[in-house]
Copies of this chain bind each other. A is one copy, B any other.
Amino acid sequence: MINEKSLAWGRSKSCIRELAGYASGRKAEIGEENVFDFSIGNPSVPSPSQVNIAIRELLDSCTDMQLHGYTPAPGLPSLRKAIAEDLNKRYDANIIPEMVYVCCGAAAGLCSSIRALLCPGDEVIAFAPFFAEYTVFVEAAGGHLVSVPPMGDMQPDIDALEGAINEKTKLLIINTPNNPSGVLLTAESLTKIADVMHRAQEKYGHKLYLLSDEPYRELVFDGNPAKSVTRYYDNSIICYSFSKSLSLPGERIGYVAVSSTMDDRQDIFDAVCGAARGYGYVNAPSLMQRVVEKCMGLTSDISAYKRNRDLLYNGVTACGFECVKPDGAFYLFIKAPEADAKAFSERAKKYELMLVPGDDFGVKGYVRAAYCVSEEMIKKSLPAFKQLAEEYEL
């Protein structure tokens, strides 16, 4: 009688939220300091102080209409210009302000872009492991998500990509650095992906779009030689959120940027705006548009995540667990020492370790540990990892 898919999406709890709920219960029972909660990717580092300073300055200097009134649907012109300049300066992108659509966070940008591009029945490819919500976003737009399994080092399997593309493929989503593996796509991988897509465009006689989901773009630890994806492939769209770089996940502010080298860029941009309109997005939150403009290029203290990465990676691998060393983001994707990741996640609970089974990310046999937590918690968790490892005789 009512929309079955909507009901199913509303009823199904993500495995992350489910575990987080269990963790909350345990904290209430045995004390927060005794639970090692690696479940949720909520940035643990405060926003740079300039964020709250900017809010105060704006309150002092702007009218209520400027602060809280409607903005143009694609965002304040000055912010769109600042975003384009920032992308071009820091990542050698080729974005013009007219191709920047400011939106309510990366999820809004992804959904609007996917809906803009997909005709019913179209297929979207994502490299596993991938952010579990992609499946929902693609289905909501009437499409179908096809998962391409990773190589051992969590870089994409290019041959498998080539095999997965067919007549119905419209779009490839990449996510770098990756949630949940933390892996950064190498220049070599990006070049190969672009090659495959160019060949596929010729073979099938229609365009294939590359959607680059980049909320963790600034959270990289070992140097970031990456130039923008728009330099590898013309038909590229960037989705970005200030959620992680400025620790503002609740404020819902991000953008879509369409490559200026895409020859149908105006159509694609218009369709993104139109899709957002059809989903009820009017404009991105107005005060936060002005705030992020004032904070362009700033980040929270990324070094804290790097310290956490080193501490946790070194700690769990010393116990005998296997995982790829993350280049960025704030996740560790740990190989479960038994085939069933859910069973492993259950067993970890005995030691108050909250590790999300990776099945919903499209890869079996792994768990995700979100290390956007206090350094102290990580230190205290290591003996628990040790005990867990001993149980598996690692």
Q: How far is the CA of A252 from the CA of B252 in the complex (A)?
A: 10
Query: A7 near B279 (CB under 8 angstroms)?
Result: no
In the complex, the chain B residue whose C-beta lies closest to that of A105 is: B282
Q: How far is the CA of A339 from the CA of B3 in the complex (A)?
A: 41
Q: How far is the CA of A110 from the CA of B277 in the complex (A)?
A: 12
The stretch that binds B, out of A115-123, A188-196, A343-351, is: A115-123
Query: A250 near B105 (CB under 8 angstroms)?
Result: no
Answer yes or no: A104 CB below 8 A from chain B CBs: yes
Nearest CB on B from A112, distance (A): 7
Nearest CB on B from A22, distance (A): 15
Q: How far is the CA of A275 from the CA of B286 in the complex (A)?
A: 24
Please indicate the chain B residues that have their CB under 8 angstroms from the CB of A7 in the complex.
116, 267, 270-271, 274
Please indicate the chain B residues that have their CB under 8 angstroms from the CB of A43 in the complex.
65, 69
The stretch that binds B, out of A55-63, A86-94, A353-361, is: A55-63
Query: A68 near B250 (CB under 8 angstroms)?
Result: yes
Answer yes or no: A2 CB below 8 A from chain B CBs: yes
Answer yes or no: A184 CB below 8 A from chain B CBs: no
In the complex, the chain B residue whose C-beta lies closest to that of A136 is: B278
In the complex, the chain B residue whose C-beta lies closest to that of A278 is: B140
Complex A-B: 9 CB contacts under 8 Å: A1-B207, A2-B267, A7-B271, A8-B274, A10-B270, A10-B274, A65-B247, A68-B251, A285-B288
Given contacts A69-B247, A111-B278, 11 further A-B contacts (CB under 8 A): A2-B267, A2-B268, A3-B117, A3-B141, A6-B271, A10-B272, A43-B65, A52-B67, A133-B277, A250-B286, A252-B284
